[in-house]
Amino acid sequence: MTTEAADSTDAVGTVAPAADPGFLQRHGGTIEYVLIPGAALVGALAVFGVFVAMFGKNPLDLYFYMYYGAFGTWFSWQNTLTRAAPLILTALCTALPAQLGMVIIGGEGALLIGALSATSAALALQGMPPFVVQIAMVCAGVIGGGLWIMLSGSLRQYRGVNETISSLLLVYIALAILNHLVEGLMRDPASLNKPSTREIGAANMIGSIPGTDVHWGLVFGLIAAIASYILIYHTVFGFAARVAGGNIRAAKIVGLGVSKLILTVCFLAGGAAGLAGMVEVAAVQGRTNANLAAGYGFTGILVAFLARQNPLAIIPIAILLGGISASGGLLQRRLGLPDASVLVLQGIIFVFVLASDALYGRIGFLKGKS
Amino acid sequence: MADGSIGLWTVPLAVLGGAIRVSTPFLFVSLGECITERAGRINLGLEGTLVMGAMSAYGISYLTGSPWLGVLAAGITGALLGALHAGICSLPRVNDVAVGIALMLFGTGLAFYLGKPLIEPTAPRLPAIDFGWWSDLPQVRAALRINVLFLIGVVLAPILYWAFRTTRWGLLIRTAGESSDAARAMGHSVLLIRLRATMVGGFLAGIGGSFLSLFYPGSWNEGLSSGQGITAVALVIFARWDPLLCLWASLAFGGAAALGPALQSVGVTSGYHLFNAAPYILTLAIMIITCSPKRTLTGAPAELSITR
């Protein structure tokens, strides 16, 4: 992201407005979308550097280890991509409803419910061919997570309940349901210290992309992001959704079924997060337990905002933030920073990105003539 | 706790005691958020403020030996986070809900980071006043060991109710929340009013956090607050932005949150986690009952983005 920002600065420098007067007018907006979040990211990294310097750590070491732990070696790249997979999916959970003007922050809940549904499906179908079990897990994860966020959507549509608050409350309710089932009905009696469900079985795991340690969840994420992009920007449905997001009254006047739009979009959003839960079960954990509440749902919100709710932009941003969280372990070992330092950095980035919203359309040299 | 002599009476007693004990953070956060929202802004970041308040109160109490200095430090930390929220929100085209989410993540992250060395040591706690001296039953005495902060909160609610109605500051805050144009026409800076309202809101939320770490549960760890801050924000909505209703709602919430531990103490352990989720389920249920898609809520400040 930082290099992209630097590239675009170069582009501005080489193609002088005088040489091609229309250039900035045509591309100024696109450049802004890269330049401003990029600058916000650099600013956040600088502030975080000052922050760790106050604790007597060398900020240059920090940046080096962050780079090294995220993108420095093939091993760290694989770690980064493995973490990016659920982030792409949970970011879609915020980005899709955002097209309709809704702020959904309950991706973590949908992830947990998706994981629970997928695990139940796998445990119910023990003995079936792995391919059947895996398909069933995907369906169960998507449907479970989808219905969970659709609940928030329908509460907003039919009862006027604010979807931001209801989706967050549903995260805590989902966690309670998960803990309840994992410690009761679905508990594997052999899991003594860490209550868990029974394992879904090694044969049913979805495995890695050949030649790598990165699991297939990354491909699920990429497909979901690209499909969402096409849905929103290249279909009538997506156009209707964006109209309704821009002006709900206009949408109603031209006869768009707003309720149907809201429910469908919320289902797809929750389905994406539910798929993230399925992936975490079927590729990483092998079972459901409290480990699944690892905060992917909350980091996904940040990814969606940083990508300005654009499904395609979510992919590189998720890889970037996956990298930051992948480097957390190295920062802990080499610099003695607490594991929460990743959370602090994410918080600072989030604050900077939102504050940078004020800059759009205000950078003089990008305005062109318009 | 499980004393056979009073049997199942333990449960309502524990719920009553819990209503008093557990409600205090809800009460402070909701009163603070009430002030902020009346001024026309919503601060979802109070969850982060609560955790930061808990951490800084514990740290200062441990370092200085005075829990009351800890409470003050928590309030100041909260006010600073409030100032940060208001500062970013006063930039053009910045969404206050999104900034709140950002500060929720930032506050919790920062508290976990700075609070790492505080998990082991024991800090001096806030004292409690024993209102149960007249009873021989240990359950009654436990239920009536009441913290001064709770009493301050109980007194604060009617004061705020009165202040919103009659004082100059109360009217200014409400004007900013109902019509920023009107406030501007009167020659007041809406941004400044909202900055102050958000800082006071953060101050109170920080104090709510200090109660968590210095009285009940009374220690610092990373699982200290699980959504109390956000529940309190939701609570303001169905308390109709009325400080007195906030008080009753907080008590109801405290009771709901105490249900799980109370049932556990008499041996009902199945469904423990579900009972722990009672406050969230209750919030959602009350929001479903009281909200309506047809009209905006009565009492809602007109400038509030979340109800428009």
**pLDDT, tens digit (0-9, with 9 covering 90-100), for B61-85:** 999 999 999 999 999 999 999 999 9
Closest C-alpha among A49, A24, A28 to residue A337:
A49
Burial bucket for residue A202 (CB in 10 Å: 0-12, 13-18, 19+): exposed
Nearest C-alpha in A relative to B238:
A161
B112 touches chain A (CB under 8 A): yes
- B207 touches B28 (CB < 8 A): yes
Say yes or no to pLDDT of B205 above 70.
yes
Gap from B184 CA to chain A (nearest CA, Å): 22
Please check the confidence at residue A11 and state whether its pLDDT lies above 60.
Answer: no
Q: What is the DSSP-derived secondary structure letter of residue B290? A: H
Q: How confident is the model at residue A90 (pLDDT cuts 50, 70, 90)?
A: very high
- Judged by average pLDDT, the poorest of A201-210, B66-75, B271-280 is B271-280
How far is it, in rounded angstroms, from Cα A314 to Cα A216? 18
Is there a contact between A340 and B280 if contact means CB atoms under 8 Å apart? no
More confident residue, B285 or A364: B285
Residue range A47-54: mean pLDDT, rounded: 94
Q: CB distance A171–B116 less than 8 Å?
A: no
Rounded to 10 deg, the angle between the A163-183 and B278-290 helix axes is: 140
ipTM of the complex: 0.89
Q: Do B106 and A169 touch (CB under 8 A)?
A: no
Average per-residue pLDDT in chain B? 88
Would you say residue B31 has pLDDT above 90? yes
pTM of structure = 0.88
Q: What is the pLDDT of residues A67-88, one digit of tens each?
A: 999 999 999 999 999 999 999 9
Give yes or no for residue A346 having a pLDDT over 80: yes
Greater confidence (A346 vs A30) lies with: A346
Which residue in this structure is represented by tokens 């209503």? B19
Kindly report the nearest CA distance between residue A18 and chain B, in angstroms: 31
Q: Does B94 touch chain A (CB under 8 A)?
A: yes
- The CA-CA-CA angle for residues B145, B78, B36, to 5°, reads 95
User: In degrees, to the nearest 5, what angle opens at C-alpha A294 toward C-alphas B113 and B259?
Assistant: 90
* Neighbour tally for A95: CB within 10 Å: 29
Q: Characterise B146 by phi-psi region: left (phi > 0), alpha (psi -120 to 50), beta (else).
A: beta
CA distance A287 to B128: 45
Q: Closest to A168 (Cβ–Cβ): which among B98, B230, B291?
A: B230
Helix (H) or strand (E) holding B130: strand B128-130
Q: Hey, is the C-beta of A4 within 8 angstroms of any chain B C-beta? A: no
Question: Which DSSP helix (H) or strand (E) runs through B146?
Answer: strand B145-147
Query: What is the count of residue pairs from A and B with beta carbons less than 8 Å apart?
Result: 145
Closest CA to A228 of B263, A198, A237, A38: A237
| Closest to A105 in 3D by CA, of B254, B115, B306, B41 | B306
Q: CB distance from A254 to chain B under 8 Å? A: no
Please report which confidence band the pLDDT of residue B125 belongs to, taking 50, 70 and 90 as the band edges: confident
A 90-129 near B (Cβ less than 8 A): 103, 105
Q: Are A343 and B79 in contact (CB under 8 A)?
A: no
Nearest to A169 among B106, B234, B273 (CB): B234
Taking residues A28-54, report their average pLDDT.
Answer: 89
What is the per-residue pLDDT across A304-328, written as a single tens digit (0 to 9) for each? 998 989 999 999 999 999 999 999 9
CA distance to partner chain A, nearest, from residue B135 (Å) = 36
pLDDT in tens, A268-304: 999 999 999 999 999 999 999 988 998 899 999 999 9
Question: Please, which residues 214-253 of chain A have a Cβ atom closer than 8 Å to chain B?
Answer: none
In one letter, which amino acid is A285?
A: Q
